[in-house]
Amino acid sequence: MKPIHILLLFALLFPAASPLAAQEEEAVLDCNAPLPQENVVLHTGRSLYLVGETIWFKAYCLLNGQPSNELSKVLYVELFNAENKVLIQQKFRIEKEGATGSLEIPEEVQSGYHYLRAYTQYQRNFAPEHFAHRRLAILNPGSAPPALTLPKQDGLSFLLADGALVAGLPTRLLASF
C-alpha cells in the first residue's frame, strides 16, 4: 500500500511543480540576456578656454544606439586635471533629447590640459573608459606656464664614414645628434 501512496502523492504534486520549474527557467534566461548599452555623447562649444569662462556643453544619452532617458534621468559632469583631481562636479537632468548645461571654470585652475567627463549612474557599473571624455586646454594668464619637459638627448657623437683611419688618406666623419 505504501507504493500506491507514494505514486498518488507524486501525481498530485507534479502539476504544481511544473509552473515553478518554468519560472526558474525564465529567470535563468533573463539573467543571460544582454544588458542594455547606455552611452553618453558629449559636445562642447570649443576646446580652448580661459579661467573664469563658462564651458557650455550638450550631452546625448543613447540607449542601444537610440536617444532615450528611460534608463537614466541624471547626468554627472566633472572637470578634472591631468592628475585626475576633480575640480568641479555637477548633476544635470536628462530630458528626452539629452542634457545641456554649463560649468564655470574657477580662477584658481592652473594652465594645462583638463578633461570634461560625463556619465550616468548606470554607466558606473562598467569601466570608466566607457564614459564620455573631452580634452580641454585651459589657460590661466595669472599663473606660471607649465614646465616644458624635453626628451633627454645623449649628445653629439661622431662616426668614421670609411670605417678606419688610414695615414695619408682623407677621412670622412659622420655626426649624429
Confidence (pLDDT) at 122:
92
For the domain spanning 39-139, the CATH number is 2.60.40.1930
Between CA 80 and CA 55 the distance in angstroms is 13
**112-143: per-residue pLDDT in tens?**
999 999 999 999 998 888 899 999 999 999 87
Q: List pLDDT tens digits, range 37-89.
A: 889 999 998 999 999 999 999 999 988 888 888 889 999 999 999 999 999 99
Contact residues for 172 (Cβ-Cβ < 8 A; gap 6+): 160, 161, 162
Q: What does the domain layout of the chain look like in residue ranges?
A: 39-139
State the Cα–Cα distance between residues 1 and 18, nearest whole angstrom.
27
CB 56 within 8 A of CB 44: yes
Instruction: List, in sequence order, the alpha helices (H) in the chain.
Output: 2-32
Beta strands in 9-151 (DSSP E): 38-44, 48-50, 54-63, 66-67, 74-81, 86-93, 99-104, 112-120, 132-139
DSSP single-letter state for residue 102:
E
Query: pTM of this prediction?
Result: 0.64
DSSP type of residue 71 = S
